Amino acid sequence: MLISNAYAQAANAAPPAMGESPLGYMFPILMIVVLYFLLIRPQMKRAKEHKTMVDAVSKGDEVITGGGIAGKVTELGDNYIQVEIAANTVVTVQKQTITAVLPKGTLKTL
């Protein structure tokens, strides 16, 4: 009474035409191109710049880590560096955690 009957569609519906428009394929391709230029390419550029910055760190540079620790690099290793954060206080951090290299003299004397 309140719900009407649902009937299936006719079985003799025409199949899709053989020569469908290529516009149906353009939207997914366009979306992939847009995502590449808006998301993937800038991220790859940022990662390359970070790797260059980390590789250029040398002894005596003043750095900031991802955890917010600021200090002067005292020793370099392949994967780890030692950062002096206060007088006679040295911590070991991974190289990849460096987020910025500060200009010399930015930090006050430790």
What CATH code is assigned to 58-110?
2.30.30
Match 């930090």 to its residue by tokens: 107
| Distance set, CA 3 to CA 6, 8, 9, 67 (Å) | 9, 16, 18, 62
Extents of the domains making up the chain = 25-56, 58-110
pLDDT band at 51 (very low <50, low <70, confident <90, very high): very high
The pLDDT of residue 56 is 95
Furthest-apart CA atoms within the chain: distance in Å = 86
**Where is average pLDDT lowest: 9-13, 69-73, 94-98?**
9-13
The pLDDT of residue 6 is 77
pLDDT digit string (tens) for 12-30?
655 555 556 777 789 999 9
pTM of the model: 0.70
